[in-house]
């Protein structure tokens, strides 16, 4: 899918385009055309902006290579732009965690000559791990990162660590672009010595303070921060190779940071709205004081309720009066009629029972003759006739029986 960007130009730009003949070709290969009737400039995008760079084994790269009549271009002709074809420049590297330092290096290789076809070689995982160490990204990820860079025209997978004539002729390489720091190996002190001897080496500048090693050093230095970051984003402790205790510690630290952030936001909001808060608080405090006095003041509702119910409460809580005592007896020993009517009379006294032997004597007397009595009978009669009151005349005057 193609993209076109158009914009109106100023009068100075229109005049300059007319003087130049209505069209130019930019340094990076894009075509700029001018249309005087519409007063607009139309820029056709680069092929690298329309699609990713092809691999060296793709048909597009093979067709470009076959169309090139290879013969190494002298440096002077390449600089003057009189080579008659695109200058094929090769640059290689690991390109792990592709960053702006890599992009700037490729930009320098792309613009080292006026008309450059840039070929970039990326080393495989096996070769990189054996020569330089473990990478963060896999070889496929590094291939894709490089081929989506706008300056790259072709990508060579599984690039060699050292070069020979066969490799240079296979890819029809005119120049090799790299920084001029010597790269030593077991066999030689400088990998690019042969390239430099043939005057095919083009030096590029490194970006200070930016490298894959620096990025890895930052991650290692702030290891706890990045682990907590990924735990908060849903990664498991197993995926991060974190122990159970460290996971709990990191999650607790995340919670504490969240509370701190919330506290800062609250304090910020309070600082912005402190005047409104103080005004509202003063109004509310006055309302609270008025309500308190209405309830608990001297003339408040609770005071009136207490005064009205105080007498009833005291009457309900006081003890009942003690019962009245018995009146003294009258002169003849009797109680007053009022008291006598209020006190129930004592129960009737049972009659004294005659002894069994007396009834037995009466029965035997009927059998004996006349008025004859036994001595025992006479003694009993004397006891009963001694002048005391009989049982019929006896009356107990005690008020307690």
pLDDT score, position 11: 44
Question: Quick one: pLDDT at residue 225?
Answer: 84
Hey, how many other C-beta atoms are within 10 angstroms of the C-beta on 210? 13
The reported pLDDT for the residue numbered 309 is 75
Residue 191's φ and ψ, nearest 5 degrees, are: -65, -30
Structure confidence at residue 98 (pLDDT): 94
Q: What is the pTM of this model?
A: 0.54
- Mean pLDDT over each residue of the chain, to the nearest integer: 74
Look at residue 221 and tell me whether its pLDDT is greater than 50: yes
pLDDT in tens, 265-284: 777 777 666 667 777 777 77
Q: Which of 164-178, 218-232, 313-327, 345-359 has the lowest mean pLDDT?
A: 345-359
* Per-residue model confidence (pLDDT) at position 292: 75
Is residue 174 within 8 A of residue 56, CB to CB? The reply is no
Among 61-65, 303-307, 342-346, whose mean pLDDT is lowest?
342-346
Cβ-proximal residues to 121 (8 Å cutoff; 6+ apart), any chain: 90, 91, 92, 93, 155, 156, 159, 160
* The pLDDT of residue 79: 92
Tens-place pLDDT, residues 93-115: 999 999 999 999 999 999 999 99
Q: What phi, psi does 18 have (nearest 5°)?
A: -65, -40
- Whole-number pLDDT of residue 228: 84
Alpha carbon separation from 60 to 116, 153, 170 (Å, rounded): 17, 10, 16
221-233 mean pLDDT: 85
Greater confidence (131 vs 122) lies with 122
pLDDT tens digits, 34-45: 444 444 545 555
Q: Per residue in 134-158, pLDDT tens? A: 999 999 999 999 999 999 999 999 9
């Amino acid at each position: 899918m193609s993209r076109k960007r158009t914009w109106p130009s100023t009068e100075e730009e229109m005049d300059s385009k007319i003087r130049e003949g209505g069209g130019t070709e930019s340094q990076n290969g894009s075509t700029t055309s001018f249309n005087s009737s519409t007063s607009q400039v139309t820029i056709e995008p680069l092929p690298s902006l329309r699609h990713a760079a092809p691999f060296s084994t793709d048909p597009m790269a093979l067709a470009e290579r076959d169309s090139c009549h290879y013969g190494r271009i002298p440096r002077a002709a390449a600089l003057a732009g009189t080579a008659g074809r695109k200058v094929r420049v090769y640059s290689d590297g690991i390109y792990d965690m592709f960053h702006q330092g890599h992009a700037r290096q490729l930009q320098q290789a792309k613009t080292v000559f006026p008309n450059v076809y840039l070929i970039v070689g990326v080393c495989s995982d096996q070769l990189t791990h054996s020569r330089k160490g473990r990478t963060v990204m896999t070889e496929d990820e590094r291939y894709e990162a490089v081929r989506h860079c706008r300056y790259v025209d072709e990508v060579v997978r599984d690039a060699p660590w050292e070069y020979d004539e066969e490799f240079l002729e296979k890819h029809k390489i005119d120049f090799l672009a790299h920084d001029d720091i010597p790269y030593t190996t077991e066999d030689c002190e400088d990998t690019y010595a042969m390239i430099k001897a043939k005057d095919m080496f083009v030096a590029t500048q490194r970006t200070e303070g930016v490298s894959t090693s620096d990025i890895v050093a930052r991650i290692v230095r702030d290891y706890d921060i990045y682990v907590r970051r990924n735990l908060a984003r849903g990664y498991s402790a197993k995926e991060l190779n974190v122990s159970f205790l460290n996971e709990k510690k990191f999650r607790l630290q995340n919670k504490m940071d969240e509370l701190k952030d919330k506290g800062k936001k609250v304090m910020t909001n309070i600082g912005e709205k402190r005047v409104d808060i103080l005004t509202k608080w003063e109004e509310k405090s006055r309302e609270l004081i008025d309500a308190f006095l209405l309830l608990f003041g001297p003339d408040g509702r609770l005071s009136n309720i207490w005064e009205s119910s105080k007498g009833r409460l005291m009457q309900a809580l006081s003890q009942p009066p003690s019962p009245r005592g018995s009146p003294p007896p009258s002169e003849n020993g009797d109680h007053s009629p009022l008291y006598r009517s209020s006190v129930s009379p004592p129960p009737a006294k049972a009659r004294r029972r005659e002894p069994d032997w007396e009834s037995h004597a009466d029965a035997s007397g009927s059998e004996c003759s006349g008025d004859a009595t036994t001595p025992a009978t006479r003694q009993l009669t004397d006891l009963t006739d001694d002048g005391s009151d009989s049982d019929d005349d006896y009356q107990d005057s005690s008020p307690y029986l």
